[in-house]
Amino acid sequence: MRLHEYQSKSLFAKHDIPIPQGCVATTPAEARRCAKELGGAVAVKAQVLIGGRGKAGGIRLADTPAAAEETAAAILGMEVRGLAVRELLIEESVHIAQEIYLGIVVDRSQRRAVMMASAEGGVEIEQVAHDRPEAIVKVTIDPLSGLSDVQTGALARDIGLEVQLHDAFGRIARGLYEAFAAHDATLAEINPLVVTGQGKLLALDGKMVIDDNALSRHPDLSQMRAQSAQDTGQETPVERKAREAGLSYVHLGGEIGCVVNGAGLAMATMDVIKYFGGVPANFLDVGGGANAAKTAAALRLVLGTPGLKAVLVNIFGGITLCDEVAQGIVTALGEVETRVPLVVRLVGTNEERGQEILAESGYRLLSANTLAEAARKVVAVASGEAAT
Ligand code: GDP
Ligand code: MN
């Protein structure tokens, strides 16, 4: 679970990391009120769960409360890298003298948390790591003894931080590690950690990713997710529909839509499509024992995929009844007008009745008995070859 900037910062503050004063706004009027309370210029920051907001225009400065209101309206009306903005963080604007990177991740190979720092903060750290790996310094944290003063001192020195700031840097680094450890995080990051015009260190951005498997230990964090009106809105419309229909769906962007029962069979189906030269448009597991309504919902969803060239329905009926599935296919085709060819492999329980329903429906469907045959056919029709 990824936390929003304002949520991460609220956890940082509990561990004595200095953050700018600010408040969350969901309307331009709230943004104005907040800017007025803060007094002076503010930064208006889109709260979306993606990095690079600055470059995408999701972070702007405003000099007056009226300007903050106007800026808030503009940012609330836009998408930042494909995500709609529903919440804003309004913060006192800070004069920046230097931007530092400070972060902690889990290094799986060492089975330890690793703290990284760089004098080249502000930009994406992945880019720095790629272009100039020597500009990032690291220390490995012992889980029993924690982060030592010697380690934080070494980081401060190695990034060339001026000596007067070393103690403050050490406190922030320790706070970040405490926040990371206390919340079972897999990542905690301050980018940028800035040196202000007044020569103080301040966490200007915050990012935390919590291990989903540990959420049961953190009821307060689960609440954060529920509170954030945005999180459900971060799904694409198709993903939301899939979740609401109880389908396991992952968009992949290829040309061949897949409707399959069972996650393992769905994986195998994608593999076999790839093996024959096709590209799956999605992963979709309708689940065991899917009825007509659920199958119809699944097929409707897949038929709505942009760039779709063909669909493969692959059902191996055990508990799932083939006649129910067939009924679902017919229902969906009655509702969604489509010119995309459908290949249907329907085997198992009530297979004969299912085949009859499909044959009686009058829709032109291509059938197949084995998965290999089905995959070969769907790849052929997707590339515009005549069906055989
Ligand atoms: P990100 O682009 O999503 O990582 O968002 P950040 O919160 O890191 O902001 C990106 C950049 O915007 C920072 O590196 C700063 O240069 C700038 N920025 C953010 N807040 C302020 C502010 O209060 N004052 C000024 N002058 N710049 C800011
Ligand atoms: Mn940032």
Q: How far are the Cα atoms of 42, 152, 344, 350 from residue 197, in angstroms, in the given order?
A: 16, 23, 66, 75
Taking phi over 0 as left and psi of -120 to 50 as alpha, with beta for the rest, 92 belongs to beta
The CA distance from 250 to 254, in Å, is 12
40 in ligand 1 pocket by Cβ < 6 Å? no
51 in ligand 1 pocket by Cβ < 6 Å? yes
Nearest-CA residue for ligand 1 atom 7 is: 205
Q: How far are the Cα atoms of 30, 42, 62, 91 from residue 36, in angstroms, in the given order?
A: 10, 9, 11, 11
Per the CB < 8 A criterion, the answer to whether 53 and 87 are in contact is no
Judged by DSSP in three states, 363 sits in coil
Domains annotated for the chain, with CATH where assigned, are: 21-93 (3.30.1490.20), 96-224 (3.30.470.20), 237-382 (3.40.50.261)
How far is ligand 2, taken at its centre, from the CA of residue 205, in Å? 5
- Going by the DSSP 8-state scheme, the letter that residue 280 receives in this structure is B
192 in ligand 1 pocket by Cβ < 6 Å? yes
> Catalytic amino acids?
101, 189
234 in ligand 1 pocket by Cβ < 6 Å? no
How far is ligand 2, taken at its centre, from the CA of residue 51, in Å? 7
Query: To test the ligand 1 pocket, which listed residue (55, 61, 205) has its Cβ within 8 A of the most ligand atoms?
Result: 205
Q: pLDDT 10s per residue in the chain (388 long)? A: 889 999 999 999 999 999 999 999 999 999 999 999 999 899 999 999 888 899 999 999 999 999 999 999 999 989 888 788 999 999 999 999 999 999 999 999 999 999 999 999 987 888 899 999 999 999 999 999 999 999 999 999 999 999 999 999 999 999 999 999 999 999 999 999 999 999 999 999 999 999 988 988 998 887 787 665 445 556 667 877 888 888 889 988 899 999 999 899 999 999 999 999 999 999 999 987 788 888 899 999 999 888 899 999 999 988 888 999 999 999 999 988 888 999 999 999 999 999 999 999 988 899 999 999 999 999 999 998 875 5
- Which residue's entry shows tokens 């070393």? 166
How far is ligand 2, taken at its centre, from the CA of residue 220, in Å? 25
The per-residue b/e assignment along 348-379, b for 16 or more CB within 10 angstroms, e otherwise, is bbbbeebbebbeebeeebbbbeebeebbbbbb
Nearest partner of 19 among 115, 68, 92, 104, judged by Cα: 92
How far is ligand 2, taken at its centre, from the CA of residue 118, in Å? 13
Query: To test the ligand 1 pocket, which listed residue (21, 55, 59, 195) has its Cβ within 8 A of the most ligand atoms?
Result: 59
pLDDT at 229: 44
The per-residue b/e assignment along 126-160, b for 16 or more CB within 10 angstroms, e otherwise, is eebeeeeeeebbebebeeeeebeeebbeebbeebe
Cis status of the peptide bond prior to 133, with omega within 30 of 0:
no
- Cut 0.75: pTM above it: no
53 in ligand 1 pocket by Cβ < 6 Å? yes
- What number does the ligand 1 atom closest to the CA of 50 have? 3
- What number does the ligand 1 atom closest to the CA of 121 have? 14
The CA distance from 36 to 22, in Å, is 11
| Ligand showing the shortest atom-to-Cα distance for residue 55 | 1
44 in ligand 1 pocket by Cβ < 6 Å? no
How far is ligand 1, taken at its centre, from the CA of residue 259, in Å? 44
178 in ligand 1 pocket by Cβ < 6 Å? no
168 in ligand 1 pocket by Cβ < 6 Å? no
Query: To test the ligand 1 pocket, which listed residue (94, 204, 208) has its Cβ within 8 A of the most ligand atoms?
Result: 204
Nearest-CA residue for ligand 1 atom 9 is: 54
